[in-house]
């Protein structure tokens, strides 16, 4: 006798749940949130982003695409109470922030274990490379962890190489060259151009050892995902790198908003609206590319001698400019007043210069036809935003990975001209800054501007259907789905 068939249909398996852990710095959080939103838009995965009360507002620009988990910022004796991010933080405390933030490991572990037996269990962790502590957390939970790099592959490899090999300078000489023998062409940098995180390492110090352990943990990740694109860093992507643990690196960038989304609040509230700044730039529409946009990022505070040299060069050359100076930049006495006075009497063009105090709508500015050059510290987010917009750069690196990025742009990509290689230690002469500004405005670096336009085409091709970055993104989604198909043993 045949058995009657039941008419019940099995409930579909829920999409794999990925825990996303950004690092609390603008240049790290923003691209990882962009990536999380893109992953969510592909479907088939659910994402929960970790934040603290101070960083949670950045999630607002991403709507309901991702879930959020807001936890109290962990306290640590080496880190000041009441501070939750790197914005405006003294560089001397960057290492302490990495170590303090690792205090989220225990509450995150408790949160994940509470969900280990139900469909909401964590299937994988996607976390910033400054959150290396999520690697042992992933091991405890029995899941894979993918390390996200908001930096160039080249810069990421240099950073990890330092803590992997621990090279030393000779006789305390700041100009002592440090070699990177496992990277293509074996580059070398003077000691003073290495990241402060490494130069301030002290053997046996809790913070120093915690920072080193952070980067060594990254070398155990299942893979790296980098906010870059293949045509920009081909030589660092053709084969696995020893300095990245021979792990696979997926180049999925540039992670930048679409041209129609330049007014979004992905970076937080701006001191001037995109509409207002673009309206001001419209006054130069009959002279495309004549305006220089200037910004040194959200973390660095320009030193007085550097600000003085740049301000003097701007006044000497008369180059039209927008200078996003942040809230604490020590501009020379009377400079802002002279700029404002010129704006008040200049009529249609409203003056040749504009100072923005606070966060500026940088993407909108760079994509405006009036902007022809970008004076930048070469933070990687700024590099990619300029590359996507086709704007050539005047490179003025200060610290961190900025010297590595600047070398990549100047010597390999050909999309930038150096202003100074002296960093925060010494400001260039104002006459030299004026020479570079004048040459750029006068069209003497036309070959660099042309290369920047080519780079924009390559960046756009990478993220379109069939492009290298788009393909890597689709493979990442498939990987995350597969990781969530069954619990790991």
Its pTM stands at 0.92
Q: State the Cα–Cα distance between residues 158 and 179, nearest whole angstrom.
A: 10
Provide the pLDDT for residue 91. 86
Confidence of residue 144 (pLDDT cuts 50, 70, 90): very high
Whole-angstrom Cα distance, residue 93 to residue 77?
Answer: 12
Sign of the CA dihedral running 131, 133, 134, 135: positive
Q: What is the DSSP letter of 427?
A: P
Strand partners, 19: 48, 125
Question: pLDDT tens digit string along 212-251?
Answer: 999 999 999 999 999 999 999 999 999 999 999 999 999 9
pLDDT per residue as tens digits for the range 261-311:
554 455 557 889 999 999 999 999 788 899 999 999 866 668 899 999 999
- State residue 401's pLDDT score: 93
Residue 436, token pair as written in the block: 């570079």
Report the alpha-carbon distance of residue 410 to residue 396 in Å, rounded.
11
Reply yes or no on whether the pLDDT at 208 is more than 70: yes
CB atoms within 10 A of CB 229: 28
Residue 7 has pLDDT above 70, yes or no: no
Structure tokens that stand for 414 in this block: 């050909």
In the chain, count H helices and then E strands.
16, 15
Contact, 280 vs 291, CB < 8 A? Answer: no
Range from 277-281, 359-363, 439-443 carrying the lowest mean pLDDT: 359-363
Alpha-helix residue ranges (DSSP H) falling in 300-360: 304-317, 335-345
Residue 488 — pLDDT band, cuts 50, 70, 90? very low
Q: Which pLDDT tens digit goes with each residue over 315-353?
A: 999 999 999 998 777 899 999 889 888 766 655 455 689
């Amino acid at each position: 006798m045949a058995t009657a068939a039941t008419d019940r249909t099995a409930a579909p398996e829920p999409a794999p749940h990925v825990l996303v852990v950004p690092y609390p710095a603008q240049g790290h959080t923003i691209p990882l949130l962009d990536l999380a939103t893109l992953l969510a838009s592909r479907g088939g995965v659910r994402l929960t982003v970790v934040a603290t009360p101070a960083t949670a507002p950045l999630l607002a620009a991403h709507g309901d695409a991702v879930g959020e988990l807001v936890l109290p910022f962990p306290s640590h004796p080496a880190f000041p109470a009441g501070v939750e991010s790197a914005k405006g933080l003294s560089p001397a405390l960057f290492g302490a922030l990495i170590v303090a933030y690792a205090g989220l490991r225990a509450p995150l572990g408790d949160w994940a274990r509470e969900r280990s037996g139900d469909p909401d269990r964590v299937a994988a962790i996607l976390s910033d490379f400054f959150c290396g502590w999520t690697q042992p957390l992933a091991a405890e939970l029995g899941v894979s962890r993918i390390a996200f790099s908001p930096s160039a592959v080249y810069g990421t490899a240099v950073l990890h190489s330092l803590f992997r090999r621990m090279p030393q300078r000779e006789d305390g000489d700041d100009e002592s060259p440090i070699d990177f023998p496992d990277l293509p062409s074996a580059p070398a940098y003077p000691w003073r151009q290495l990241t402060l995180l490494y130069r301030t390492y002290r053997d046996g110090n809790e913070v120093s050892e915690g920072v080193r352990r952070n980067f060594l943990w990254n070398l155990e990740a299942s893979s790296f995902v980098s906010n870059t694109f293949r045509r920009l860093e081909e030589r660092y992507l053709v084969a696995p790198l020893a300095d990245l643990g021979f792990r696979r690196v997926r180049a999925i960038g540039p992670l930048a908003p679409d041209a129609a989304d330049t007014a979004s609040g992905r970076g937080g509230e701006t001191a001037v609206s995109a509409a207002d700044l673009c309206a001001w730039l419209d006054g130069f529409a009959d002279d495309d590319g004549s305006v220089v946009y200037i910004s040194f990022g959200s973390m660095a505070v320009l030193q007085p001698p550097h600000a003085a040299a740049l301000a003097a060069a701007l006044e000497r050359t008369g180059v039209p400019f927008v200078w996003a100076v942040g809230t604490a930049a020590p501009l020379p006495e009377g400079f802002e007043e002279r700029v404002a006075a010129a704006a008040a009497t200049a009529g249609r063009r409203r003056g040749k210069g504009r100072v923005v105090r606070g966060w500026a709508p940088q993407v909108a500015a760079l994509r405006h036809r009036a902007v022809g050059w970008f004076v930048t510290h070469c933070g990687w987010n700024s590099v990619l935003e300029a590359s996507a917009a086709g704007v050539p750069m005047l490179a003025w690196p200060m610290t961190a990975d900025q010297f590595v990025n600047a070398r990549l742009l100047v010597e390999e990509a050909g999309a930038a001209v150096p202003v100074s290689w002296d960093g925060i230690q010494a400001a260039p002469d104002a006459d030299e800054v004026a020479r570079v500004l004048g040459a750029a405005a006068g069209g003497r670096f036309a070959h660099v501007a042309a290369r920047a336009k080519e780079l924009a085409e390559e960046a756009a091709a990478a993220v379109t259907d069939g492009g290298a970055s788009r393909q890597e993104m689709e493979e990442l989604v498939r990987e995350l789905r597969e990781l969530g198909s069954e619990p790991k043993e």
